[in-house]
């Protein structure tokens, strides 16, 4: 028997255990998969005041570049910038390039800066204090307020990355 979306949802709600219905009533997504399970749950985790302070300190670093780039996401947990123009690379299929992001996560606040990956000469400008917080090629993790020196260093790297992308005509 073929059911439309709303009919399938009603059937799933009737057959779902009480635990799942309570979660749905508390803010979980009301959609179910083919097996009657909830397809997504709300992202709820306790936020440390240190994380909120770190996010508040790091967001202005990227926000200062919002006039030259486009804001893709601006929420209480994420701030993401992309290029205003389409990517010059065919694999991106005309989508803008992702420049950077600040994300408040469960274990840390992460600051991503894609120019570090695409312009390896910028890696020489990363100080040892900032290198300690680096995870992978483009991500810096923070569990507390980074302090003015680290914020200033990230602002310099962000500006240098933007300048590199401008020279390469990727903006």
pLDDT, averaged across the chain: 77
Q: What pLDDT was estimated at residue 103?
A: 94
Q: Is 85 found in the same domain as 5? A: no
Q: Is 37 found in the same domain as 63? A: no
Written as tens digits, the pLDDT of the chain (171 aa) is 444 444 443 444 444 444 444 444 444 455 555 555 555 554 445 567 889 999 999 999 999 998 988 899 999 899 999 887 776 666 767 788 889 999 998 899 999 999 998 888 888 889 999 999 999 888 999 998 999 999 999 999 999 999 987 888 776
Number of domains in the chain: 2
Q: Is 57 found in the same domain as 29? A: no
Torsional sign, CA 135, 99, 66, 75: negative
Q: Is 1 found in the same domain as 16? A: yes
Q: Is 55 found in the same domain as 38? A: no
Rounded Cα distance, 100 and 111, in Å: 7
Domain that holds residue 28: 1-44
Tell me whether residue 6 is exposed, middle or buried, using C-beta atoms within 10 angstroms of its C-beta: 0 to 12, 13 to 18, 19 or more. exposed
Lookup result for tokens 């600040």: 102
- Tally of CB atoms within 10 A around 97: 20
Q: Is 81 found in the same domain as 151? A: yes
Q: Is 113 found in the same domain as 38? A: no
Query: In this structure, which long-range contacts are made by residues 67-75, counting pairs with CB atoms below 8 Å and at least 24 apart in sequence?
Result: 68/162, 68/171, 69/99, 69/162, 69/171, 70/96, 72/96, 72/98, 73/101
Q: pLDDT by residue (tens digit) across 11-38?
A: 444 444 444 444 444 444 555 555 555 5
pTM for this predicted structure: 0.69
Largest interatomic CA distance in the chain: 64
CATH of residue 62? 3.90.1150
Q: Is 57 found in the same domain as 31? A: no
Q: Is 150 found in the same domain as 121? A: yes
């Amino acid at each position: 028997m073929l059911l439309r979306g709303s009919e399938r949802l009603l059937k799933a709600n009737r057959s779902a255990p009480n635990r799942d219905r309570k979660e749905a009533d508390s803010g979980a997504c009301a959609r179910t998969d083919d097996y009657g399970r909830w397809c997504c749950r709300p992202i709820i985790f306790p936020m440390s005041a240190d994380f909120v302070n770190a996010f508040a300190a790091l967001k202005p670093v990227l926000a200062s570049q919002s006039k030259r780039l486009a804001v893709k996401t601006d929420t209480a947990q994420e701030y993401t910038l992309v290029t205003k123009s389409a990517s010059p690379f065919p694999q991106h299929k005309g989508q803008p390039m992702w420049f950077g992001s600040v994300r408040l996560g469960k274990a840390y606040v992460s600051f991503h800066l894609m120019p570090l990956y695409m312009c390896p000469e910028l890696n020489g400008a990363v100080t040892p204090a900032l290198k300690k917080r680096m995870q992978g090629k483009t991500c810096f993790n923070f569990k507390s307020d980074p302090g003015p020196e680290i914020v200033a260093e990230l602002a310099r790297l962000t500006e240098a990355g933007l300048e590199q992308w401008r020279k390469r005509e990727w903006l």
